Amino acid sequence: MFYRLAGVILLISVLVFSMSANAQENYREQIKGLDEQVQEIKTDVLSIAEQLNQLEEKLLYPSNTQVAVFISMVGGETFRLDSVEIELDGKPMAHHIYTFKELEALQKGGVQRIYTGNILAGDHDLQVLVLGKSVGGTDFQNTERFKVNKDVGPKIVELSLAAGSITFKDM
């Protein structure tokens, strides 16, 4: 009884999910074949996505009126960013509340495109409100105003955030 029981148990310990060699090989081949087809369809869909990106940009955000606002975090900053609110010429343009994953992505050096839209050529007022918690755990809010000058080409604005400041860069 002891050895029979032990035999059964050890067999299970070693091979929890066992299959016959043939079935296993057959199964692997099927998986491989399907996997290759899945990779192909991913390539197709990515190519569609790329074309749609271009179409969307051309149709919705032509370069003479396009403005894009990006959010980044200054390297080494560890404050907790809760939300960013942006107004352009006094009108609310974007409001984003950050998840933990998004915050982590920003801290690692990722850049978030918070807004893409259209504005006329000329000077515009940009107001940024940042809410967060400092490393010490104190709530803070920081509001700053900047001037955006839009000319013929697409306007790209980067707002680089630190615990006590917002740096404005445009290109």
Partner 1 sequence: MYRFFAALTILIFSASPAPAGTSGPQDLKDLYFGEALYHAYQGDWFDAISRLDTELNQHHGLDEPERDSLYYHINQAEFAVGDFELAYRMHQRAGRAITAVINGNVEEQVRNEAIFRLARIYFQKDQPVNALYAVERISGDVPADIRNDLDFLRAQILMANGRFTDAARILQDLQDVKSLEGFSTYNLGIALIRDDRELQGREYLDLTGRINSKDVLTLAIKDKSNLVLGTKLLEENNFESAKQVLDRVRLSGPFSNRALLGSGWAAAFQGRFDRALVPWSILAMREVTDASVQEAMLAAPYAYGKLDVYSKAAIMYSSALENFGIELDKLDASIKSIREGHFLRALVREELKQDANWVVKLRRLPQTPETYYLLELMATHEFQESLQNYLDLEQLRRKLEAWQGDLDAFEEMIAQRREYYTPLLPVIDREFRHLDSQMRLRLEQRDRIAQRLKNMLVVPRPDYLATSGERICSEEIGLLEQRLSSGDSAVPESFTTRIKRLRGMLHWNIYTEYDQRFTEAYRHLLDLDHEVDLLKNQYTDFVRTRQAATQSYEGYDEVIRSQRIRIREAGEKVEVLMARQGHMLETVAVSELTKRRERLAEFQIKARFAMADSYDRATRAQTQERESQ
User: Under the rule (CB under 8 A), what is the footprint of partner 1?
Assistant: 1-2, 5-6, 8-10, 12-14, 16-19, 27-28, 30-31, 34-39, 41-46, 48-56, 58-59, 62, 64-65, 68, 70, 72, 75, 101-102, 104-106, 108-113, 121, 152, 156, 158, 171
- In angstroms, give the least distance from the CB of 79 to partner 1: 18
> What type of residue sits at position 93?
M
* Cα dihedral 101, 105, 106, 112 in deg (nearest 10): -90
Alpha-carbon distance of 151 to 66, in angstroms, equals 10
- In angstroms, give the least distance from the CB of 50 to partner 1: 5
- In angstroms, give the least distance from the CB of 165 to partner 1: 18
Nearer to partner 1, 90 or 109 (CB): 109
Nearer to partner 1, 16 or 21 (CB): 16
Nearer to partner 1, 34 or 135 (CB): 34
- In angstroms, give the least distance from the CB of 90 to partner 1: 25
Nearer to partner 1, 68 or 140 (CB): 68
- In angstroms, give the least distance from the CB of 159 to partner 1: 11
What is the phi/psi pair of residue 150, to 5°?
A: -100, 125
Q: Residue 97: beta bridge partners?
A: 83
Q: Give the 3-state secondary structure of residue 114.
A: strand
**DSSP assignment of 12-36:** HHH-SS---HHHHHHHHHHHHHHHH
For tokens 């907790």, name the residue: 80
